Amino acid sequence: MCGPLPARPSLGHIPPGAGRGTRLRTFTCTAARAVAMGETKMSLSPLAAELNARLDGECPAALRLLSARGRAAYFPHKGILGQSAEARGKRINATIGVALEEDGRPLVLDCVAEQVELAPGEQVLYAPSFGKPALRQRWGSMIRAKNPGLADGGHSVPVVTCALTHGLSIAGELFLDPGDRLILPDLYWGNYRLIFQAAFGAVLDPFPTFVDGRFNVAGLAAKLMDGTPGKRVILLNFPNNPTGYSPTEGEAIEIVRAIGKAAAAGHDIVVLIDDAYFGLVFEAGIHETSLFVPLSTLSPRVLAVKIDGATKEDYVWGFRVGFLTYGMAGATRDTYSALEDKTAGAIRGNISNAPNLAQSLLLAAYDHPDYAAQKAEKHATLRRRYEKVVAVLAAHPEYAESFTPLPFNSGYFMCVRPVSADAEAVRQLLLAEYDTGVIATDGLIRLAFSSTPLAELDDLFANVDAACRRLARS
Ligand SMILES: Cc1ncc(COP(=O)(O)O)c(C=O)c1O
């Protein structure tokens, strides 16, 4: 029977220690009440209750930050996957849902297998829902190498996602209930609307990205402190899409300080750190490492979630390999493994696992002796384009009559704001008469220097200037 509408399920529904045994706890809301609460009727498996109890014991804020779906998530270690793992190496193994030849090799079409120099098992068999163990370890050591100050054991083992969009979506599933505010700068990747708003009912709550040409830390702080102490979810993406901005060293310190202050004031904060363009910083004095480093040790009330991957870092957009990694002051291996289980469980119930072939190819590439040198070469290609953009703007002060560049120093993109023309009209005119394609978004024109040859950059800006001038006149 449905009683009065209760508060959202909170810790109160999951007392510390609950589910350590086999007790099945069930949310007994009727559908109507569930809808009003923005939740679906959902039973809590004993395995989920056990993970929740582990989190509650060591990192209660991590439990408080989970959504209803996040609290219900668990990994079925004793299910088909676990039973298959236990049967590995047995003479007769009738567990796994793949087809094998008479001699036990994967049954594979030659026309598929001959395309790549990897053993068929590394191509066509399932990868674990957590991701290939060797790749998870490798990515963990790679993020430590790229982020000095990040300690081994100071973060979870990365869980492999089907690239960053999927990692963001899994984070949305685990941490956002319908109606939850997602605090983020107002210049953001438009797909966040589909990922967080359309799919999970979160309310995007943006603050102006820049004030006086600087990152608006005060805007972030105001959003964090707005309202009574409770759950806060922030999304930070540097280098940023669409602006190509990363904070200065000073701004990075201020951002971390603002989040620390909000935690000290009693807020529980989960920070989703979208590191899609990690490493593509082209100016001195810009914060190069991930905000995950300071945030992962900031406070027992701050859960840092690093969402990153090979997509842009290793120039493999279609491979669909990303990672989700947690860091929180006070978290132990046990806390992290509970969060990893919830993450892998969400993945298991969603795409089951990320492509084995792409994970295998990346592992092989990371072992390649020329990996670092080749990566540096591609970085240099993008840096040359960035420097060319800076030079073009410096050489053409008259462009200031047509458009204003927004601050940029990193990533794939930069944005300009037309002075008196409509951005969408500029885009249309560029397509129709200048043989030029750009993105119009939120009154801005986004220019991807990442995909524009060096030799075309002069013309790109000249065309944008010409189109802005014509539309300003008309
Ligand atoms: C800021 C940002 N995050 C995430 C993604 C998604 O990356 P992936 O292709 O790995 O899903 C993109 C892709 O454009 C992006 O710009």
Residue-level pLDDT at 32: 36
Mean pLDDT of 77-95: 88
- 31 against 434, higher pLDDT: 434
Could you tell me the pLDDT band of residue 3, with boundaries at 50, 70 and 90?
Answer: very low
404 by DSSP, 3-state: which?
strand
Q: From ligand 1's centre to the CA of 274, what distance in Å?
A: 8
Torsion of CA 54, 166, 210, 281, to 10 degrees: 100
Calculate how far, in angstroms, residue 192's C-alpha sits from the geometric centre of ligand 1: 10
Q: Is the pLDDT of residue 96 over 90?
A: no
Mean pLDDT, to the nearest integer, of 296-308?
98
Distance 308 CA to ligand 1 centre (A): 9
Q: Which residues contact 191 (CB under 8 A, 6 or more apart)?
A: 165
What is this structure's pTM? Answer: 0.91
Predicted confidence at residue 42, as pLDDT, reads 67
| Domains contained in the chain, CATH given | 15-67 (no CATH), 115-367 (3.40.640.10), 371-473 (3.90.1150.10)
Q: Is the CB of 165 under 6 A from ligand 1?
A: yes
Q: Mean pLDDT across the stretch 136-150?
A: 97
Average pLDDT over residues 177-195: 98
For the Cβ of 164 lying below 6 angstroms from any atom of ligand 1, the answer is yes
Ligand 1 atom with minimal separation from the 165 CA:
11
Tell me how far the alpha carbon of residue 164 lies from the centroid of ligand 1, in angstroms: 6
Q: Give the separation between CA 247 and CA 198, rounded to whole angstroms.
A: 29
Confidence tier at 80 by pLDDT (50, 70, 90)? confident
Ligand 1, pocket-test mutation among 184, 311, 313, most atoms within 8 A of CB:
311
**Does the C-beta of 163 come closer than 6 Å to ligand 1?**
yes
Ligand 1 pocket residue status of 363, Cβ below 6 Å:
no
**How far, in Å, from the CA of 276 to the mean position of ligand 1?**
6
CB atoms within 10 A of CB 112: 12
According to the per-residue pLDDT averaged within each range, which of 82-86, 89-93, 262-266 is highest?
Answer: 262-266
Would you say residue 201 has pLDDT above 80? yes
Closest ligand 1 atom to residue 163 Cα is 10
Measured CA to CA, the distance from residue 146 to residue 272 in angstroms comes to: 19
Q: Whose CA is nearest to atom 16 of ligand 1?
A: 241
**In testing the pocket of ligand 1, which one of 139, 160, 161, 165 has its CB within 8 Å of the most ligand atoms?**
165
Q: How many beta carbons lie within 10 A of that of residue 97, not counting itself?
A: 7
Measured CA to CA, the distance from residue 151 to residue 39 in angstroms comes to 37
Spatial contact of 361 and 204, defined as CB atoms under 8 Å apart: no
- Residue 279 Cβ inside 6 Å of ligand 1? The answer reads no
